[in-house]
Amino acid sequence: MASITFAHIAKSYKDTPVIKGINLEVADGEFMVFVGPSGCGKSTMLRMVAGLESITAGDLLIDGVRVNELGPSERGAAMVFQNYALYPHMTVAQNMGFGLRMSGMAKPAVALQVQEVAQTLQITHLLERYPKALSGGQRQRVAIGRAIVRRPKVFLFDEPLSNLDASLRVQLRIELAKLHQQLKTTMVYVTHDQTEAMTLGQRIAVFNQGHIEQVGTPVELYQKPANRFVAEFLGSPKINMLGYTWDEAKQVMRISPHLALPPSLFKAAPHRLAQGALLGLRPEHCTLSAQDTGFVGTIEFMEYLGDSVLAYLHLSGVEELFRLKINQPHSPLKVGQVVNIAYSNDELMVFGADGLAV
């Protein structure tokens, strides 16, 4: 078990900076998730920890010890990749034991350790098979087993479940969470999947173009995003963003020439709204109202999701359709209908013209 410290970590390929001075502390035993758009540097971060990529500047510490110059095998980090990366000519048992054999452990001891881990992951019956005779889910279990067997100080997962179908992803996600509870080893986990990020991460770091936008618990990031980027990145369906100008004389937010909203609609303080330029309204916090709220939209189309309905509304003078989630399997609403919108959450998200939360 170990903490991981990134101190002013930077990485460039030739003259192109891809990681731009990152400071981050992953606590001993923590499950940390990295999310962010494609190309923002998540894999590069993991590869630097694993020792698969050199570090251009800054200090990387594992358990308080600087490891910048240490080779991959000296760092006590094990990495699991998206594409499994199993050796095709070795059986499952040989794949799992390979690292231990290489480090000089005697065969019987290796076999014992492999057996133990295979039991934990319920793959004992697969030990003599070759990777080509395994399903995707089984292969990824083996890849995870190969990482565990070495008893690393830190686990690094780079989108380990993204090649699996939806139901298997959910199953393995739960198993990974259990594994973390059981082993209590520090884990850093990269994913594109919001649900994985929210459910697995004790904390989430949101990356954007080589820097971190915000680090926090899933609830903090969802309820109190530091900026527009984080607000838009987390949450599905995506948060609505409504640009406005504050009309001091009338004490309303002008969304468009035909749409002005009073602060009372959101239980928000006018002085706060006066500083902002953008409202963030999550679709699940917007409801339909039988009363005239003055916040009206016309239904353009609807999506039925089984347990809920997603309505897309046209607001007068607003280009982007407004998303509203109705928590009922059916809805009596019809396309073309004009409806009143209310806001159910106590906390209103307001962002300034610079995108920072107000």
Ligand X SMILES: Nc1ncnc2c1ncn2[C@@H]1O[C@H](COP(=O)(O)OP(=O)(O)OP(=O)(O)O)[C@@H](O)[C@H]1O
Give the residues lining the site for Mg ion (CB under 5 A).
43
Q: How many residues lie near ligand X (CB under 6 A)?
A: 10
**Six-digit token string for 12:** 């460039």
Identify which of 186, 181, 145 has the alpha carbon closest to the alpha carbon of residue 62.
186
Among ligand X, Mg ion, none, the one that 44 touches (CB under a kind-dependent 5 to 8 A) is ligand X
Distance CA 114, CA 118 (A): 6
- Least distance to ligand X from the beta carbon of 39, Å? 4
Among ligand X, Mg ion, none, the one that 13 touches (CB under a kind-dependent 5 to 8 A) is ligand X
Q: Is 10 in the site for ligand X (CB under 6 A)?
A: no
Which of 2, 33, 40, 142 is the binder for ligand X (CB under 6 A)?
Answer: 40
Q: Is 13 in the site for ligand X (CB under 6 A)?
A: yes
Between 207 and 322, CB nearer to ligand X: 207
One DSSP character per residue, 61-117 reads: EETTEE-TTS-GGGTTEEEE-TT----TTS-HHHHHHHHHHHTT--HHHHHHHHHHH
- Least distance to Mg ion from the beta carbon of 126, Å? 28
- Least distance to ligand X from the beta carbon of 328, Å? 35
Distance CA 192, CA 195 (A): 9
Between 149 and 190, CB nearer to ligand X: 190
Between 54 and 135, CB nearer to ligand X: 54
Which of 7, 18, 265, 318 is the binder for ligand X (CB under 6 A)?
Answer: 18
Between 43 and 214, CB nearer to Mg ion: 43
Please give the angle made by the CA atoms of 72, 77 and 80, to the nearest 5 degrees. 100
Between 38 and 291, CB nearer to ligand X: 38
Distance CA 76, CA 83 (A): 22
Q: Pick the stretch among 34-42, 95-103, 267-275, 281-289 that binds ligand X (CB under 6 A).
A: 34-42
Q: Is 15 in the site for ligand X (CB under 6 A)?
A: no
Distance CA 155, CA 95 (A): 18
Q: Is 41 in the site for ligand X (CB under 6 A)?
A: yes
Identify which of 129, 8, 116 has the alpha carbon closest to the alpha carbon of residue 61.
8
Which parts of 42-81 interact with ligand X (CB under 6 A)? 42-44
Q: Pick the stretch among 32-40, 84-92, 328-336, 347-355 that binds ligand X (CB under 6 A).
A: 32-40
Which of 1, 8, 23, 39 is the binder for ligand X (CB under 6 A)?
Answer: 39
End-to-end CA distance of the chain: 39
Between 43 and 227, CB nearer to Mg ion: 43
Amino acid at 57: A
Helix 166-183 and helix 136-148, axial crossing angle in degrees, nearest 10: 10
Between 36 and 225, CB nearer to ligand X: 36
Q: 329 with 307: CB under 8 angstroms?
A: yes
- Least distance to ligand X from the beta carbon of 233, Å? 13
Distance CA 32, CA 17 (A): 24
Q: 131 with 89: CB under 8 angstroms?
A: no
- Least distance to ligand X from the beta carbon of 34, Å? 8
Distance CA 231, CA 357 (A): 9
Q: Pick the stretch among 21-29, 41-49, 137-145, 333-341 that binds ligand X (CB under 6 A).
A: 41-49
Q: Kindly list the residues in this chain that would bind ligand X in the complex (CB under 6 A).
A: 13, 18, 36, 38-44
